[in-house]
Amino acid sequence: MQMTRTRLLILLLVLLPWLFAGAAADGLFESETLVADEGSETRNAALSKMLADVLVRVSGNPKIGAQASAAEILQAAPTLVQQYRYRTVPGDADVVRHLWARFDRTAVQRMMRERNLPIWTQRPRVLMWVATERAGRRDMLNFDTVAAARDAALQRAQQRGMPLQLPLMDLQDQAALQPADIWSDYAAALDRASARYPHDLVVTGRLQAMAGDTWRGSWALRGAEQDFQTAAQALPDALASAVDQIQDLLAARRAPGAIAGAPRGTRVRFSAVQDLAAYGRLVDLIEGMPPVAGLALRHVEGDRYTFELQLRGDDQTLRRALDDAPRLRAEPGLSGPLPSEVDYHYRLLH
């Protein structure tokens, strides 16, 4: 007897956590890119680029490739390949050639640990619900009817190593969740609708139509108590941008920092870090300070982020750099004595 579509969907939903669990870990260490030819020089250059993508996914840090310790790993890319193959597809004038490779998970992680780089392979499964508003009409976004937007979200999620679940928007979903529930953040309806999908975190998006068929987004990470915005842009770009910001927020809160056993650095707590944009400005500011050789996020509590900084100089050099920063203000007595694990406390100015 043929299995009905409903039973098949239910079976897939039940099996998805196990199917994905095995594929996700290995998938973090796979990459593919376009190449001009199959020569060894072209291949080795491509492998370094592909390994850089892998390091971004494994660490959760989109800027990791700029670190000197990561550059040493990228140079060894050809020796870290476990398997590679080419595939070709017809192009406008000639065939288009792709190189796919899987890197040795154990070897890559060992080199990252030896260089005190973060490894973040246990990713929360993200379920995304999106509602749209155009000319006063609100609708749930059915990803199956907007293939370009669906593919953009899934492709960016794969690039960032995010286990992303998009809802089916079948009759069951349509009965369980209405656009008004997304706009009002109606928890009971969101919980009921989400229960059928394997997930650890629910993200809701409210997209408003703007001029030129662009969409401005307001997003919320339920359970992480974090909101963010995406600028007006085409629908596929809006969803890809949301995936990037979600993963950056999750990495900031959940990705491990420097490995255990490394010498303790100087710990600085920064308050008034109110959103993802502020967090990005703060990280750029810290990384640009000459005394700072590296940083790792150690703790998040509300709008307070505690970083451990590895220094090229001494603490006094760091203090001068922090005091001279135009967007920072020292506040050692903001909430009483500093916790024993924090060396300095600064407020981020907006």
- Domains defined along the chain, listed by start: 29-114 (no CATH), 126-253 (3.40.50), 266-348 (3.30.70)
Confidence (pLDDT) at 336: 47
Strands 201-210 and 126-134: parallel
Residue 147 backbone dihedrals phi, psi, to 5 degrees: -60, -40
CA separation for the pair 140, 175 (Å, rounded): 11
Phi-psi region of 149 (alpha: psi -120 to 50; beta: other; left: phi over 0): alpha
CA separation for the pair 90, 96 (Å, rounded): 6
Mean pLDDT by 10 residues, the chain (350 residues): 44 38 64 96 97 93 85 95 94 87 94 85 91 97 96 94 95 97 96 95 96 95 82 96 90 61 76 83 88 79 85 86 92 58 89
Confidence (pLDDT) at 291: 87
Q: Residue 308: which of 317, 320, 321, 318 has the closest Cα?
A: 318
CA separation for the pair 222, 255 (Å, rounded): 18
Confidence (pLDDT) at 14: 35
Could you tell me if 26 and 158 are in contact, meaning their C-beta atoms sit under 8 angstroms apart? no
Helix (H, G, I), strand (E, B) or coil at 61: coil
Name, in order, each residue with C-beta under 8 angstroms of 320's C-beta and a sequence gap of 6 or more. Answer: none
Confidence (pLDDT) at 339: 55
Confidence (pLDDT) at 11: 36
Strands 164-165 and 304-311: unpaired
Residue 49, judged by CB atoms within 10 A of its CB (0-12, 13-18, 19+), counts as middle
Confidence (pLDDT) at 114: 85
Q: What is the pTM of this model?
A: 0.70
- DSSP state at residue 332: T
CB atoms within 10 A of CB 13: 14
Residue 344 backbone dihedrals phi, psi, to 5 degrees: -140, 155
Could you tell me if 194 and 202 are in contact, meaning their C-beta atoms sit under 8 angstroms apart? yes
CA separation for the pair 333, 350 (Å, rounded): 20
CA separation for the pair 122, 135 (Å, rounded): 41
Could you tell me if 304 and 271 are in contact, meaning their C-beta atoms sit under 8 angstroms apart? yes
